[in-house]
């Protein structure tokens, strides 16, 4: 399936939760249980790093005998950590690719499990003073890609070519992005650049916070990052799916409906043998993340929550009972 078609399918999936722009009233509050203690480790996504820290602290407050270590250097670090047994959870801002799944299945004889923890509008950021009103997906490809497989046109190298006037018209565009171990890097490459190559001028950053900080400090900059890293020094650029189409910003409604063209789910992966129950520590942490308590923290970090329907579906798929909470 072509990358843009994959994105369309994801947008259609997100559209199913349009009614959940407010926190789903059916999400149950988390109910602590007895006998939970032990250690957990999470290795993976930088995009989800702040979220994982919040979930870990909230869960540890309920269970003083639990310690959760969080390492968030990039989604590409999650599959090897799960494969080697170095972590119990692997948060990722993209689905595992075929090679990552095949390596896991070769070792364990079954595929890794996963569940959805949030929806995200992958934002195109510019400096807060940048007047650009909107960009099309083709223009984004022309700005970031050297091969321009999604636009087939000339490169956009200065802000005048992107549609600005006045003092901005002759200013070169300074481009920031994530490094290659990032799931956001891979998602952007496949979905926005049609698997084309990034320009050499893209300044790769080790984390989402660094991307946003550089844009805030660079008047003529542009970059991409998860919505949860937005600061006062930047603004998100509304996007149009194609020339002549309406522009949509990174609102919950536009994300859930698929009108904002770079929407995605965020995932946590884990090693679970089919037919076997998860241990109580892992199961309770998952139930906490997907509860009203956990999803309130999701919204606090700037992402959009899942629905109770998604929660029930993914807990059922993991064999975790929803009767208690």
Tell whether 234 and 108 lie within a shared domain.
no
Residue ending a domain, choose from 243, 260, 277: 260
- Sequence-ordered strand ranges (E) for the chain: 38-43, 66-71, 90-92, 113-121, 123-127, 135-136, 174-178, 203-205, 221-225, 234-236, 239-240, 263-270
286-to-40, 71, 114, 150, 289 alpha-carbon distances in Å: 12, 17, 11, 38, 5
DSSP 8-state code for residue 18: G
* 322 within a domain of the structure (yes/no): no
Beta carbons of 20 and 299 less than 8 angstroms apart: no
How confident is the model at residue 152, as a pLDDT? 84
- Same-domain status, 159 and 36: no
Q: pLDDT (tens digit, 0 to 9) for every residue of the chain, 325 residues total?
A: 344 544 554 454 454 444 445 678 889 999 999 999 999 999 999 999 999 999 999 999 999 999 999 999 999 999 999 999 999 999 999 999 999 999 999 999 999 999 999 999 999 999 999 999 999 999 999 999 999 998 988 999 999 999 999 999 999 999 999 999 999 999 999 999 999 999 999 999 999 999 999 999 999 999 999 998 999 999 999 999 999 999 999 999 999 888 999 999 999 999 999 999 999 999 999 999 999 999 999 988 889 999 999 999 999 999 998 765 5
Do both 115 and 243 map to the same domain?
no
8 Å CB contact between 151 and 138 = yes
Enter the pTM of the model: 0.87
Look up the domain containing 214 and give its range. 123-260
Answer yes or no: do 184 and 95 share one domain.
no
116 and 155 belong to one structural domain: no
- For 246-251, the CB contacts below 8 A with 24+ separation are 247/133, 247/134, 250/121, 250/123, 251/121
pLDDT for 323 equals 64
Q: Which of 128, 82, 127, 132 lies closest to 104 in space, CA to CA?
A: 82
For residue 324, tell me if it sits in a domain: no
Same domain, yes or no, for 138 and 209? yes
**Co-location of 7 and 105 in the same domain:** yes
State phi, psi for 178 to the nearest 5 degrees. Answer: -85, 170
Of 84, 78, 83, give the one whose Cα is nearest residue 104.
83
Identify the domain boundary among 260, 280, 304.
260
193 shares its domain with 211: yes
10 Å CB burial of residue 37 (0-12, 13-18, 19+) is exposed
The domain that holds 97 is classified in CATH as 3.40.190.10
Q: State how far the alpha carbon of 67 is from the alpha carbons of 16, 34, 38, 282, in Å.
A: 36, 16, 6, 12
């Amino acid at each position: 399936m072509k990358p843009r078609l994959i994105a369309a399918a994801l947008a259609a999936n997100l559209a199913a939760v349009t009614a959940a722009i407010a926190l789903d009233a059916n999400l149950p509050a988390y109910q602590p249980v007895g006998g939970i203690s032990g250690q957990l480790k999470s290795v993976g996504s930088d995009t989800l790093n702040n979220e994982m820290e919040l979930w870990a602290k909230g869960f540890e407050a309920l269970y003083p005998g639990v310690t959760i270590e969080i390492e968030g250097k990039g989604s590409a670090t999650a599959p090897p950590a799960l494969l080697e047994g170095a972590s119990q959870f692997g948060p990722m801002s993209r689905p595992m690719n075929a090679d990552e799944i095949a390596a896991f299945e070769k070792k364990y004889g079954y595929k890794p499990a996963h569940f959805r923890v949030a929806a995200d509008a992958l934002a195109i950021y510019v400096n807060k003073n940048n007047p650009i009103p909107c960009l099309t997906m083709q223009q984004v490809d022309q700005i970031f890609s050297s091969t321009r497989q999604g636009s087939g046109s000339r490169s956009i190298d200065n802000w005048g070519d992107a549609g600005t006037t006045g003092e901005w018209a002759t200013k070169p565009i300074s481009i920031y992005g994530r490094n290659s171990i990032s799931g956001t890097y891979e998602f952007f490459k496949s979905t926005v650049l049609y698997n084309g190559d990034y320009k050499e001028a893209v300044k790769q950053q080790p984390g989402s916070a660094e991307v946003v900080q550089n844009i805030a400090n660079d008047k003529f900059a542009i970059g991409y990052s998860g919505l949860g890293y937005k600061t006062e020094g930047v603004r998100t650029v509304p996007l149009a799916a194609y020339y002549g189409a309406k522009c949509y910003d990174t609102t919950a409604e536009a994300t859930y409906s698929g009108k904002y063209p770079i929407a995605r789910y965020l995932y946590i992966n884990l090693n679970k043998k089919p037919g076997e129950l998860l241990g109580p520590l892992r199961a309770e942490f998952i139930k906490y993340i997907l509860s009203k308590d956990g999803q309130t923290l999701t919204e606090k970090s700037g992402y959009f929550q899942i629905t109770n329907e998604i929660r029930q579906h993914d807990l059922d798929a993991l064999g975790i009972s929803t009767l208690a909470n």
